[in-house]
Amino acid sequence: MARRRKSRAETAGDWLSDRAVRLLIGSALRLPYARRLALVGWAMRRVVAPLAGYRARALANLAHVFPNMSLAERRRIATAVAENVGRTLIENYSGTEFTTRMAQLPLQGRASPRWRRRGRPGSR
């Protein structure tokens, strides 16, 4: 199937979106790690996801997969997903701070008592 060429308006919109995201990331990287995560999570949740249609798509997908789920619950999940995407995005640009933070967190899970008994990694 042949790809449709983008119109000038679509190309300009893509260029502006790219510059806006670069500005957000560049600005966020100047902030302390915790504030950086909060800012980009907020921006994705409140600005990017609604404008780009991500929130509407998430709501539609949830309604399709979980038709009995309440609208309030679908909204809660869609909002949380958008924020998590923003936080994950900026974590990818925050390598050193991210790995430092992760190294300080204990490993957890259903099998963690067995790990600890066996002296496996994550046994703190």
Residues 30-75: tens digit of each pLDDT? 999 999 999 999 999 999 899 888 999 999 999 999 999 999 999 9
- Residues shown for the chain: 124
CA distance 111 to 69: 32
Confidence category of residue 1, pLDDT binned at 50, 70, 90: low
d(CA 115, CA 15): 49
Answer yes or no: are the C-beta atoms of 67 and 81 closer than 8 Å: no
Share of the chain above pLDDT 70, in %: 96
> What is the Cα–Cα distance from 122 to 110, expressed in whole angstroms?
13
- Specify the DSSP class assigned to residue 7: P
Residue with the bigger pLDDT between 6 and 101: it is 101
